[in-house]
Structure 1
Amino acid sequence: MAVAVAAITALTSVIRSSSASTVMGLEKELKDAANALQRCNDTAISLKAGCDLFLRYTTRTSALELDNFAMVKKKLIERGRHFADTSKRARAAIAEQGQRFIRSGFTVLCHGYSRVALAVLRKAVAAGTQFNVIVTEGRPDETGITTARALKDSGVPTSLVLDSGVGYVMEKVDMVLVGAEAVVENGGVINKLGTYQIAIAARAHSVPLYVAAESYKFARLYPLSQRDLPLERKQIDFGPLLPPQVAVDNPSRDFTPPAYISLLFTDLGVLTPAAVSDELIQLYS
């Protein structure tokens, strides 16, 4: 289960077990619970976006106007459960949308470990499409190896390339498919470090880059550069040969501007980057 979906499920449980006797009291408990969840990982963008969307979805409803608080609570639990169920089904909807873009004989380049991107590839396999995948190594957390193992188990011919070898293999690639940690207001994406340079190489070779992302990852952020991202770093051991005086800069994520993205496969449909802002307005209105 994705962390945002787990948070949504937890917040629904908060409504169910709440001892509040007023709507304001219940809303406060929900906000406190959402803040507590976000403190578990204050740099997890999808976690914050999922919590924000849940609070907007559950508390912007005519059910709050009912005089019977027990009925209000019941309606909110139903609404929260519906939101959680919809979020869980998002992956299947995206897989159905995205698999149509994979053709027999294609070589697909993947970067990072994305459950929803894997769902797209598995759906294409189930539809009888024969293709192969090149997976980046994905240092420092070996996400490429995890993805390669999952693809092998699904019967997809897979090869692994060093992160620095993307430009070398791009001329053999027909499409790039990545997930996203967050989709931001201008249609760009925040994803595993290296996505941006892959997007640049793909553009240079006229290879389309597709992003698979659930709508609960749509975040009210507007980064203009890499410096605008929430800071998160991964530990990596370069071994004893690295001089102790040498600083290591190893951010975990980067920002890919919308100009490098062809389409986004989402549970709201197949979107252009320009359409994301309109969807965000509807999600948070």
Structure 2
Amino acid sequence: MEGEEISKYFLKIIEHEDVSVGIAAIRTLMEIINKTASTTVQGLDENIKDGISIMKRSHYPVAAIDSGCELFVRFITLTRLDTHFEECKRIMLKRGNLYLKHHNRSRNTIVTSASKLIGDGVRILTHSRSRVVLQTLREAAKQKRKFEVYVTISEPDKSGLELCKQLEIDGIPHVAILDSSVGYIMEQIDFVMIGAECVVESGGVVNKIGSYTMAVCAREMNKPFYVLTESFKFSRLFPLGQQDLPLEYKYDNYSNSTDFKKVHPLVDYTPPSFITLLFTDIGILTPSAVSDELIKLYL
């Protein structure tokens, strides 16, 4: 597959199907493997690396693409394949399909456990538009629970308003609030529930800009801060603070910018000390347990 073809395939999945950026990236890698013109494993590795680079140049979160692809590539090349190329390719595709099949079910696992948090009369604060959070809210509504959701508008792309439109369709009571009113509204809510672009080795998360501010307010007012995320978003990144995040995570087309002080970051880092629990497809985890799970995933 050529660069333009890879980009179009990746964007078509995102624009026409309700899947996360990470899953779209993994499916694109599967297509690259399936259609590769290479006749060697080394050549296929280069095709995969090139494909990841092309997807990272899109306007979608690089953190989600990076974390999803990293674990996927590790899984399909888990052991050295001492066989001819076509058989090696067949095994990779088989492993890839197994990987996708597992993670296509992962959101349902998270929703089942996280929806139990939502009882009658609960008021929830969320940020941006997370598919797994939306599905969890829908599940609670399906069980006839009465609750209310406060949604930040989530500048600069106003993705929170997209979530509000979907909540409106589902008949779920909600209120759109300014990002700057998080501190004001925090005393009225019962807990915070957000998604994540990726989960780092410390148990902290990288997510839409403003997540860290929300977490600081939540801890100050003793409100639980829950993160809902699939395990394919676990990454071996270990930031100590905001400045340790890769520039490509924080800035769109960062390589074309010369003065980052004049560009708004797209994501921020929420340290593990601000997170109450992470609801994942491999269990409900404390932030300190993430490192152990990463070791298991990458073994």
TM-score, normalised on structure 1?
Answer: 0.88
Is the Cα–Cα contact under 8 Å of residues 46 and 219 in structure 1 kept in the other structure? no
- Write the deviation string for residues 94-114 of structure 1: whole angstroms up to 9, x where unpaired: 111211111111000011111
CA-CA distance at 1:56 after TM superposition: 0.5
Helix, strand or coil for the counterpart of 2:265?
coil
Matching residue of 2:297: 283
Q: Which one-letter code corresponds to 2:169 in the other structure?
A: D
Write the distance in 1 (CA, Å) between the matches of 2:295 and 2:223.
30
2:187 to 171, 182, 185: 171
Following TM superposition, by how much is the alpha carbon of 1:233 offset from its aligned partner in structure 2, in angstroms?
4.3
Shift of 1:260: 0.7
- Whether 1:19 and 2:47 are equivalent positions in the alignment is no
Name which one, 1 or 2, has greater alpha-carbon Rg.
Answer: 1
Is the contact made by 1:138 and 1:144 (CA closer than 8 Å) also made in structure 2?
Answer: yes
Pair 37,79 (structure 1): closer, same or farther in 2 beyond 3 Å? same
RMSD: 2.1
Aligned mates of 2:150, 2:236 — CA distance in 1: 32
Q: Aligned runs of 1:39-188 on 2, under 5 Å?
A: 39-40=57-58, 44-61=62-79, 64-65=81-82, 67-188=83-204
Give the distance between the partners of 2:131 and 2:54, measured in 1 at CA.
Answer: 25
1:259 match: 273
1:205 corresponds to which of 200, 211, 221: 221
d(CA) in 1 for partners of 2:154 and 2:43? Answer: 45
**Shift in Å, 1:84:** 2.0
Aligned position for 2:25: 7
* Unaligned stretches of 5+ residues in structure 2: 1-18, 253-260
Q: Give deviations 1:36-62, integer Å, cap 9, x for gaps.
A: 333446961110111111110101146
**Displacement of 1:21 after TM fit?**
3.3
Q: What amino acid does structure 1 have at the position aligned with 2:92?
A: L
What is the CA distance between 1:224 and its match in structure 2?
A: 0.8
Q: Using the aligned pairs only, state the percent identity.
A: 42
One-letter amino acid of the structure 2 residue matched with residue 271 of structure 1: L
- C-alpha separation between the residues in 1 aligned to 2:40 and 2:251? 42
Structure 1 unaligned runs (5+)?
A: 235-246
3-state SS, counterpart of residue 255 of structure 1: strand
Q: Give TM-score scaled by structure 2 length.
A: 0.84
CA contact (8 A) 1:196 1:254 kept: yes
Q: Please say if 1:31 is aligned against 2:45.
A: no
Q: Do the aligned residues in 1 keep the contact of 2:25 with 2:69 (CA within 8 Å)? A: yes
How many residues are matched?
272
The separation in 1 between residues aligned to 2:298 and 2:244, in whole angstroms, is: 22
CA displacement, residues 59-116 of structure 1 (integer Å, 9 cap, x when unaligned): 1146x13x35433322211111121222222222211121111111100001111111
Tell me the distance in 2 between the aligned counterparts of 1:163 and 1:34.
32
